[in-house]
Amino acid sequence: MKSTIPWLIAAVTGCVMIGAYFIPYTQSWRDEAAIWFEILAAIAFVLGGVNLFTQHLQKIAARRAGWGYSAITLITFVTTLAVGVLKIGVQSENPNLPWSGHYQFEGGAMWWLFEYAYNPLQATVFAMLAFYVASAAFRAFRAKNTEATLLLVTAFIILLSQTYAGTWLTAWVPDDYPAATFPGMKAIILGVFNTAGQRAIMIGIALGVAATSLKVLLGVDRSYLGSDGD
């Protein structure tokens, strides 16, 4: 019963989604189902917040390794929540309604947190990606066998073609042979080999999605729902 009811909900919603794609009359049902999912996700968000709070409190209480980070997490969590809920620094849009301003009001405390704390932190982690790309490329592009050598040569052509040097180095090639230039080679590699490979993978993924969805609808695989017992 514990997994049958969730499966029934999933199956009925899935059938509605499929029906809405083919039957114009039921198109609004799809939007209804999506709204219900959003409501469910919003309720579950509270569950996530409570879990976040308890796990970090436990870590601080037990003084486990890295408990200082948990303390920072909780302080920022509570601060951001309070700033957002209390609309600190937000000017009201209507003088008679003091809470009428938008919580993301420019100049407000929430806006300030996003602008000067959240965005720089996001950008910092994203910028670190460049170093990870360099280290992964260093390992992937070692010419240890034929396939790796082929990958190295392909990557070299693509990288060179992205720069002005690629155009300049093959500028002497007659216009009748565009495929002999670095930009021409890049176009062929991306347009033919890369696209063909990508499409093959995409077809496989699409079929996998269809099969997984069908398994969910038919209840063939219910391992994601847990056990039937209490």
Positions in the binding site for other proteins (CB under 8 A): 21-25, 27, 37, 40-41, 44-49, 51-52, 55, 58, 65-66, 69, 121-122, 125-126, 128-129, 132-133, 135-137, 139-140, 198, 200-205, 207-216, 220-221, 223-227, 229
To the nearest whole angstrom, how small is the minimum distance from the Cβ of residue 183 to other proteins?
Answer: 22
Angle between helix axes 27-61 and 67-86 (nearest 10 degrees) is 130
Closer CB to other proteins, 180 or 201, in the complex:
201
Closer CB to other proteins, 51 or 100, in the complex:
51
To the nearest whole angstrom, how small is the minimum distance from the Cβ of residue 148 to other proteins?
Answer: 11
DSSP state of 31: H
Closer CB to other proteins, 191 or 204, in the complex:
204
Closer CB to other proteins, 100 or 162, in the complex:
162
Closer CB to other proteins, 75 or 201, in the complex:
201
Closer CB to other proteins, 1 or 46, in the complex:
46
Cα three-residue angle 188-190-194, rounded to 5 degrees: 115
To the nearest whole angstrom, how small is the minimum distance from the Cβ of residue 2 to other proteins?
Answer: 8
To the nearest whole angstrom, how small is the minimum distance from the Cβ of residue 173 to other proteins?
Answer: 26
To the nearest whole angstrom, how small is the minimum distance from the Cβ of residue 125 to other proteins?
Answer: 4
CA 158 to chain centre: 26
Burial degree of 182 (CB within 10 A; 0-12, 13-18, 19+): buried
Q: What is the per-residue DSSP string for 68-116?
A: HHHHHHHHHHHHHHHHHHHTTTPPPSBTTBTT-S-TT-TTSHHHHHIII
Which residues pair with residue 97 across a beta bridge? Answer: 94
Residue the block writes with tokens 């392909």: 154
Reported as half-sphere exposure (CB side, CA atoms, 13 A), residue 76 has a value of 12
The pair of structure tokens assigned to 207 is 């079929």
To the nearest whole angstrom, how small is the minimum distance from the Cβ of residue 184 to other proteins?
Answer: 21
For 179, residues 6+ apart whose C-beta sits below 8 A from its C-beta are: 185, 188
